[in-house]
Structure 1
């Protein structure tokens, strides 16, 4: 059974336990009050603490609270993924499993996810939204053991960001039993991306061969420019 590389998700979760306690209290009110100060006040009241204590544990305003929620879900996904037998799965199956576990981590809080997307969609929160999305896809790749460091590192994350984002949006309006429609959609998206990668690989290979032939042809051509 493969353990999660590069990330000690358990230690990270332990360090964030105080924050998670406040976050859990806030989440009970987000469905009705959104990611707002009102939700924080209700959470403080439930915990019998001052609002300032909740603010200090969850800094950054609404975008910061949403970011903390996303980060906690990423850690939960890594914890669940670390218990899976990834060695027996193909790469596309590993990705599908990781994305599914990530969505299942927030399944009890679908309205909080919807409202969180609305917060991050505001223009002045674009940087927060980008960092959160990158953190999620980076966690997924790390969780399935990706160790790439070249340009492919970024390509993988860009492609997965598209797959994950579209699947999450689909899931928000999915009312099928066990979200089976979402998982089917996810598999189709992964197949599409894998197909693009195959085509790109063939095109890149063809381009390299054509470049070599063009270079060789230029050397043999009688019209090749002579040195001055």
Structure 2
């Protein structure tokens, strides 16, 4: 059946399927690597590809892979949002979308079986061994070698997933903050903000299109940075930060509108004299 299905796939569909397989494998390796050729080689091996095959399906190299990886996460966000009850208010829609995009879009980053203590123990040991050089403050202090097996199980499945999610964000930050990638990074983040606004129902095509996305861009980027450092239970501080940041943006926008509101010409004495 699989062979029959493959026979009817176009080259583009086959390549797209292979690209998705590649980026689905990336997170658990990227968490403890950098964006470099070693990461690509390790991912190829994990996927069962021949050496150098990723350069066939991604001829643009690492930048094209990053682009596809971020777009894949955007689509995950939309899929997850479709499974949620849609909030009524636009602000709440954006709030929900940001939380999901930042915290929940890397699907199964550690391939942990939820009810398997053995899988959790192995995943935690791997994280402990490979994250010694990482620089996330209190987060990675929890991954230092434990004194006994009971300590290994202190991190539940969600916590290990969050840890890998944060490490992936950290690797992306290192890549995007390289000066040569600054414009590319802005383009990628702007695309995500555009999708969030579209999910919220925005259909603006005038200057508001850019101002809305520009303001959301600042919230999106700073929220990722906050999330990386967040040590709160279930990262509730990140949720509060997102909500507060959106509220501040709305307040600031309202004040700007009042400041830029021009008076009616007939209310200006000197003009009224000539009318």
The TM-score bracket by the shorter chain reads 0.7 to 0.9
Alpha-carbon separation, structure 1, partners of 2:75 and 2:250: 26
Change (3 A) 1:119 1:29: same
Q: Which runs of 5+ in 1 are unaligned?
A: 1-12, 222-228
* Aligned residue in 2 for 1:9: none
Alpha-carbon separation, structure 2, partners of 1:184 and 1:69: 27
* Aligned residue in 1 for 2:38: 38
* Aligned residue in 1 for 2:258: 202
Alpha-carbon separation, structure 2, partners of 1:130 and 1:112: 18
1:218 aligns with 2:217: no
Higher share of residues assigned helix:
1
Q: Is the CA contact (8 Å cut-off) linking 1:34 and 1:112 kept in structure 2?
A: no
* Aligned residue in 1 for 2:132: none
Alignment of 1:160-199 (within 5 A): 160-199=216-255
* Aligned residue in 1 for 2:92: 93
- Partner of 2:52, secondary structure, is helix
Alpha-carbon separation, structure 2, partners of 1:15 and 1:176: 41
* Aligned residue in 2 for 1:82: 82
How does the TM-score come out when normalised to structure 2?
0.68
1:66 aligns with 2:62: no
Q: Is the CA contact (8 Å cut-off) linking 2:31 and 2:168 kept in structure 1?
A: yes
Q: Which has the higher contact order (CA 8 A, sep 6+)?
A: 1
Alpha-carbon separation, structure 1, partners of 2:15 and 2:37: 25
Q: How far does residue 201 in structure 1 lie from its aligned partner after superposition?
A: 2.1
* Aligned residue in 2 for 1:115: 171
Q: Is the CA contact (8 Å cut-off) linking 1:171 and 1:179 kept in structure 2?
A: yes
Q: Is the CA contact (8 Å cut-off) linking 1:34 and 1:115 kept in structure 2?
A: yes
Change (3 A) 1:23 1:218: same
Equivalent residue pairs, number: 206
Describe the superposition over 1:95-146 as per-residue Cα deviations: whole angstroms up to 9, x where unpaired: 1001011112135432122111111111111221111011110111111221
Q: Is the CA contact (8 Å cut-off) linking 2:266 and 2:272 kept in structure 1?
A: no
Q: How far does residue 191 in structure 1 lie from its aligned partner after superposition?
A: 0.8
Alpha-carbon separation, structure 2, partners of 1:137 and 1:181: 21
1:141 aligns with 2:181: no
State which drifts further: 126-135 or 158-167: 126-135
Q: Is the CA contact (8 Å cut-off) linking 1:44 and 1:54 kept in structure 2?
A: yes
Change (3 A) 1:16 1:102: farther
State which drifts further: 108-117 or 166-175: 108-117
How does the TM-score come out when normalised to structure 1?
0.81
Select 2:214's aligned residue among 134, 158, 178.
Answer: 158
Alpha-carbon separation, structure 1, partners of 2:223 and 2:55: 32
Q: Is the CA contact (8 Å cut-off) linking 1:58 and 1:68 kept in structure 2?
A: no
- Partner of 2:53, secondary structure, is helix
